[in-house]
Amino acid sequence: MKQLYEKVGAIHIHSVFSDGSGHYDEIIRGASEVGLEFLLFSDHWTLEPKRHNWEGFHYGVLVGIGVELNDNEQRNHLLAFEIDDEIERGLDAVEYTRRVVDSGGWAVVAHPDERRTELPEFPAYPWTTWESEKFQGIEIWNHLSEWMERLTRRNKYWLYLNPRRSVIEPTLWTLKKWDELNLKRRVVGIGGVDAHAHHYPIWQNVNATIFPYKVAFRSIHVHVLLEQLPEMQDADAALSQLFKALRAGRLYISNRYVGQAKGFRFWAEDTETVTEYQMGDRIKAGSMLIFRSILPDDASHAYIIKDSVPVYKWRGGEGNFASDEPGVYRVEVRRKRRAFIYSNPIVIEADS
């Protein structure tokens, strides 16, 4: 197994620069205190924090700044990273996705499958523009969306106070969509916390902070595997290293509330040519691969999923599965009746 350098962070953060309640300084400090190594902010529409020099290392945390875009109907939210200029408002999703990608940015569909809840104060904002073929990533797991989906009139105050309990698993619809997209091209799966720390009135003038940032930062994590030793001196170099790995799909997603996932691995070996492939790789049909995965602990059980169907199951330690059939292969790990880890896929491409 090739040596890779693992960095753990959180993606999709809002601050006072748009509709979040937290200031950059306190948010980053909070992330640092819970051990996160990078944070990707995505305030709605604005790159203002970039102009305030918030990009780079602060409190030992590498900070990257993008935006979240939406259309006139408030739908089709898109996270856009590695862009230098703001995107104008009033465009449709196909067009703003194209502009982000054509200007060299990394475009990630946010909460694609957000569903209506019974509470009118939390409407749903799904992605509907699947005809766009430009986006390079999709948020397969969004803490805020899942929390909202599970809200009812009866449990809402309990869930306001226990936000991490609502995080159980992504929707099957999203996972299936993600697998289908990967049959055709690489679409990287990420997890987002969508942290805002909204203050919400629960009784007369008593306000609860929904998801204080530090609580949100102990839920959905993104673990990036870097090929080279992480750059710690030069923030620009560190960010381009981070985005290179993210764009390549060398990452997995975990729920920190369920356990410590660090050390999880998923890779594939072609024993004939002695080649090792990583998450995100796409391999031409014709070779026999051994898919290998190491779990972080013995209490977890895992599945190798091929084209949305579990094909191999094991508990603890290492799992191996050989196949030469074209398809989208990835690993799902569960623990304590909750989803724990989602790898990005390794794809054997069909002959076309």
Binding site for Zn ion (CB under 5 A): 68, 77, 110, 194
Helix (H) / strand (E) containing 321: strand 318-323
Minimum CB distance to Zn ion, residue 108 (Å)? 11
For Zn ion, the closer CB: 67 or 261: 67
For Zn ion, the closer CB: 195 or 348: 195
Minimum CB distance to Zn ion, residue 241 (Å)? 25
Residue nearest to Zn ion (CB): 77
Contact (Cβ atoms closer than 8 angstroms) between residue 175 and residue 308: yes
For Zn ion, the closer CB: 135 or 329: 135
For Zn ion, the closer CB: 68 or 113: 68
Rounded CA Rg of the chain:
20
For Zn ion, the closer CB: 28 or 238: 28
Number of Cα atoms under 13 Å in the Cβ half of residue 16: 7
**Cα dihedral 216, 189, 86, 234 sign:** positive
DSSP string, 38-102: EEEEEEES--HHHHTT-SEEETTEEEEEEEEE--TTS---EEEES-SSPPPSS--HHHHHHHHHH
Backbone φ and ψ of 79, nearest 5°: -90, 130
Minimum CB distance to Zn ion, residue 330 (Å)? 25
Instruction: Give, in order, the Cα–Cα distances in Å from 288 to each of 23, 49, 109, 271, 325.
Output: 51, 48, 33, 8, 8
For Zn ion, the closer CB: 24 or 267: 24
Minimum CB distance to Zn ion, residue 87 (Å)? 15
**What distance in Å separates the CA atoms of residue 296 and residue 293, rounded to the nearest whole number?**
10
Minimum CB distance to Zn ion, residue 42 (Å)? 6
**What distance in Å separates the CA atoms of residue 48 and residue 86, rounded to the nearest whole number?**
9
Minimum CB distance to Zn ion, residue 18 (Å)? 9
For Zn ion, the closer CB: 114 or 332: 114
What are the structure tokens assigned to 283, written together?
A: 């391999």
Minimum CB distance to Zn ion, residue 304 (Å)? 32
